[in-house]
Structure 1
């Protein structure tokens, strides 16, 4: 922990703190047994990218330093590293463009978003823009799941609404084909 309460934690300390604060308790499945569904390597990549983007927003350190901290986390080896790299570095490199695309559909200024919702929206917008192998509905759903798992109580509803409005401008043909007439 940092020496003074006004100094945000840095490095692995910040990543560990963010992860411990953001990880939800495991929800029991119907009947009371804990869910034990294996996460896909892509979902893990999104979760690690979210943690990195969260740390980066709080500390504004070099992306390579944030990346190094995330790679030290337990179970990182189980994620799709190429997708993680694309998300973390792509969102940081293109934050301005992603914010501009999102701004049209936000009900508040970008700087008033929670860091978790902001990072989730970046990931969703980045996947909609650059990861054409991911169907748009999957990109939105994965962002919603990230917001449910790491964000505030109703943050997932906000993320869903924003990305659902953004998708037609980024993937018009795919959205048109999928939506009823």
Structure 2
């Protein structure tokens, strides 16, 4: 029996968020355009097989929406992130993976489609995937909570 339930959809949405963070990181690192990175991820990452392990198929619409939102609203998102960080650590000084994560999460927080608590939980899980042993997930939770309260105060 194929799992086409809500659980499978959640996995696809979570995978799309992880891929969006990776794509934003790669865009910043390589200087490649959003279109080039989007095509590369959709053609070569979604459902690809590496070392006999198939990657989860991502929700393409969510992936595209997060990428486009992060790029088109980057200045606003970066300003929100800066306000959530301590003064000594502006966004330009933080780990590039975290910067990509905050931009992806910020893209969702500045849209009303997903409740802020869901966005925070999902991106804390992404942080756990990148930093399984570190303190980063708690840091991500605190920063995203601050960003969510700024972006959508009516939800708190």
* Range class of TM-score, shorter chain: 0.7 to 0.9
Q: Which runs of 5+ in 1 are unaligned?
A: 1-36, 176-181
Q: Are residues 1:57 and 2:38 paired?
A: no
2:72 corresponding residue in structure 1: 93
TM-score between both structures, scaled by the size of structure 1: 0.70
Give, in whole Å, the separation in 1 of the partners of 2:32 and 2:58.
23
2:129 corresponding residue in structure 1: 149
In the TM superposition, residue 78 of structure 1 has moved relative to its aligned partner by 2.1
Q: Are residues 1:78 and 2:49 paired?
A: no
1:166 corresponding residue in structure 2: 147
In the TM superposition, residue 106 of structure 1 has moved relative to its aligned partner by 0.8
Aligned residues: 138
Match of 1:136 among 116, 125, 133: 116
Bigger relative contact order (CA 8 A; separation at least 6): 2
Give, in whole Å, the separation in 2 of the partners of 1:74 and 1:124.
20
For residue 84 of structure 2, give the secondary structure of its aligned residue in structure 1.
coil
Q: Are residues 1:119 and 2:91 paired?
A: no
Structure 2 CA distance for partners of 1:133 and 1:90, relative to 1, 3 Å? closer
Give, in whole Å, the separation in 2 of the partners of 1:70 and 1:98.
23
- Are 1:46 and 1:123, in contact at CA under 8 Å, matched by a contact in 2? yes
2:53 corresponding residue in structure 1: none
Give, in whole Å, the separation in 1 of the partners of 2:142 and 2:96.
17
Please provide the CA RMSD for this pair. 1.9
For residue 32 of structure 2, give the secondary structure of its aligned residue in structure 1.
coil
Give, in whole Å, the separation in 2 of the partners of 1:74 and 1:136.
26
Q: Write out per-residue CA displacement over residues 92-132 of structure 1, whole angstroms, 9 at most, x where no aligned residue.
A: 222111101111111202111111111111122111111x2
Q: Which has the larger radius of gyration?
A: 1
TM-score between both structures, scaled by the size of structure 2: 0.81
